[in-house]
Chain A
Amino acid sequence: MRFRTKVFNIDCIHHFTNVVNTINKLLKKCTLRLTPDKLYFILPDQVSNGGVSMWCELKQANFFDEYQMDGVSSEHNEIYMEIIAENIVRALKSAHNAKSMKIKLTKKQTPCLTVEIELPSINSSSRLVTHDIPVSVIPRRLWDEYQEPTMPEFHVSICMPPLKTLKNIAERMKNLSTYLTLSANQEGDMVMKVETELVTVATRFQNLELPPFKDDDIASQAPSKLWPPTEMASARVDIRKFLQFLAGQQINPFKVICNIVNQSAIHFFLIHDDISLQYFIPAASV
């Protein structure tokens, strides 16, 4: 197993930092999967995560100037490791005006992801900051737990309004209740609603864009085809989990698609030039 990468461009470093910051807001411990052309940050669907799961995919070529890796074997040319997202964030804090940054997999007392940052200096001697982040390498037999989630059979798919607006609203709603019902129909309406004994608050967005799915993308028997366009599909979720997703968005996505599986889950799909992020929140039973 070998992994080493180098980046000289400060914009790429900042971009990578933003992605990692976002990941850190969404979860504590994540799985980093490395393949020859992509990096993945994964939170598998496990009960211990409260049913929330995440899948984030980056093309290595968009971030790194040099990228070499050899996986566990030639037919399984991949590496899976578990890492605390906050540790990467801390390491990258030193890199905000770096000249270059190297990330490599090393063997110290434990396996580590070593981040070497070269900082600018006024004289000829170089300034080097090194962070060793302990990781635990995941053996081949457990890889199956970290497979890409399948796109759920949603009833309604809609483009979300600006996340900042949603965040403001969800923050207020959090003070009123623990659960929020998100509903939408296929005519561009979306409603966020909380209901308690004392108060009912519902925010409605209208004329939202609908994601441009091609007809052949969706099977004719798909739930979204059979769902009446004006009918609201809804899911009741924990506001904190929803806020966690909203708070983490530092990468200014180009579009955020929200797929609702009526009464069972919400799937967020974030599209950015070179990043794609999926986030699942299961519905809470009433």
Chain B
Amino acid sequence: MDKTNKLFFGTNMVLLTQNEEERYAFNANMNNARNLSHILKAIHFKDTATVFVTENGMKVTVEDAKCIQANAFIQAQVFQDYIIREDSITFCINLDILQECLSIFGSNPPSVTAMRMMYNGYGTPLVITLEEDGAVTGCSIKTQEPDQTLDFEFSAANVINKVIMKAECLKEAFNELDVTSEVLQITMSPDHPFFRLSTFGTLGQSHHDIPNTSDMVEFFECNQTQSNRYRLSLLKPSVKAVNLATKVCVRMDHRGFLSLQYMIKNENGQICFVEYYCCPDEELENNDNQF
């Protein structure tokens, strides 16, 4: 606590000396904090996030009910300076607090907040310094014991069906899903209906089809008809991601596990990815079941 206090209130708090900077195991800076907060918004459906830092970049993971996992990847290139002095760093952090800190000066353009992020290893707080128009904010967020994150064993080799489309068309479909339905059924097939989202609500069934010939579809590779149900409450958070994304890749593996990859552009035009994994709700008795 002593050190952070010095950082906040020392007379020279803005400019850390070279020595002080070197002490940190992880030290990165970004000229626009929104580049980070924007992408974290896409996975912000639970308070606690696990952060993994390696020399390639930062991965932030959020999980719920051991059934859904969201990962945001922020490559080292998105930062202007990126120094890590250990092979990898893992810690848990309260995402609500992190987001509030990153947007402390307000999150609306045209204001641009510069950010520096520092972490000094197990048990120490994450220290963030933000600067805008001469005002400087120092934040010290307690980190927590990292949680074991789930491994969905989702590998590209087992992917059966894969569709890449523009985010707009899923945006519409996701935002209008019938919330009274408990599940969302996703059907992917080499023949009609190609790509179908179905809900079964109190007011009846609803199907949303996207044919493979649609302008929105950029890549379509379905080998086998698959129809799986996913808890709508689990998939709902990914609406946040689809609203920010430009492209979406939907994949299903042989077990019916779903992977949704969102491509999100930041204000500097760099591309970041957010990935959602979700396990199917139940196995349908007959996998070829057609509605």
Binding between chains A and B? yes
With a cutoff of 8 Å between Cβ atoms, the chain A residues found around residue B94 in the complex are: 198-199
Which residues in chain A, 204-242, are within 8 Å of chain B measured between CB atoms? Answer: 204-207
Q: Which of A165, A172, A206 contacts B100 (CB 8 A)?
A: A172
Kindly supply a per-residue 1/0 record for chain A positions 192-208, scoring 1 wherever the CB is within 8 Å of any chain B CB and 0 otherwise. Answer: 01000111111111110
- Which residue of A has the minimal Cβ distance to B140? A200
Q: Which B-chain residue is minimally distant from A195 (CB atoms)?
A: B140
Tally of A-B residue pairs with Cβ under 8 A? 72
Q: Is A176 in the interface zone, CB < 8 Å from B?
A: yes
- Judge whether B139 and A200 touch: CB under 8 Å: yes
Nearest CB on B from A275, distance (A): 27
A68, CB-defined interface residue at 8 Å: no
Residue contact A202 to B101, C-beta cutoff 8 Å: no
1/0 contact string of B1-26 vs chain A (CB within 8 Å): 00010001100010000000000000
Instruction: Check if A176 sits within 8 Å of B134, measured CB to CB.
Output: no
Contact A176 to B97, CB < 8 A, known contacts A169-B104, A200-B140, A203-B104 = yes
Is A178 positioned at the interface, with any CB of B under 8 Å from its CB?
no
Contact B134 A168 (CB under 8 A): no
Indicate if B145 sits at the interface (CB-CB under 8 A).
no
* Contact indicator B13/A204 (Cβ below 8 Å): yes
Interface status of B141 (Cβ within 8 A of chain A): yes
Residue interface bits B74-105, CB-to-A below 8 A is 1, else 0: 00000000000000000000101100110111
Near A by CB (< 8 A), chain B positions 124-163 give 133-142
Enumerate chain B residues within 8 angstroms of A201, measured Cβ to Cβ.
Answer: 101, 104, 137-140
Q: A191-B9, A198-B94 are in contact. Are A204 and B137 (CB under 8 A)?
A: yes
Dominant SS among interface residues on chain A: mixed
CB-defined interface of B234-256 with A at 8 Å, one 1/0 digit per residue?
00000000000000000000000
CB contact list, B179-225 vs A, under 8 A: none
- Given A175, A198, A203, which contacts B141 in the complex, CB threshold below 8 Å? A198
CB of B106 closer than 8 Å to a CB of A = yes
Which residue on A lies nearest to B107, using beta carbons?
A168
**CB-based contact A199/B141 at 8 Å:** yes
1/0 contact string of A155-197 vs chain B (CB within 8 Å): 0000001000100110111011000000000000001010001
For B136, the chain A residues whose CB sits under 8 A away are: 203-204, 206
A205 pairs with B134, CB closer than 8 A? yes
Instruction: State the Cβ distance, A68 to closest chain B Cβ, in Å.
Output: 46
State the Cβ distance, A2 to closest chain B Cβ, in Å. 49
B126's nearest neighbour on chain A, judged by CB, is A199
Which residue of the partner chain A has the closest CB to B94?
A198
C-alpha gap A202/B128 in the complex (Å): 11
Is B100 in contact with A176, judged by CB distance below 8 angstroms?
A: yes
Q: A191-B9, A199-B97 are in contact. Are A172 and B104 (CB under 8 A)?
A: yes
**Complex CA distance for A197 and B142, rounded to whole angstroms:** 8
Name 19 A/B residue pairs within 8 A (Cβ), A-sorted. A165-B133, A169-B105, A172-B101, A175-B96, A176-B97, A191-B9, A193-B8, A200-B8, A200-B138, A200-B139, A201-B101, A201-B140, A202-B9, A202-B137, A202-B138, A203-B137, A204-B138, A205-B134, A207-B134
The interface of chain A, by Cβ under 8 A from chain B, is 161, 165, 168-169, 171-173, 175-176, 191, 193, 197-207
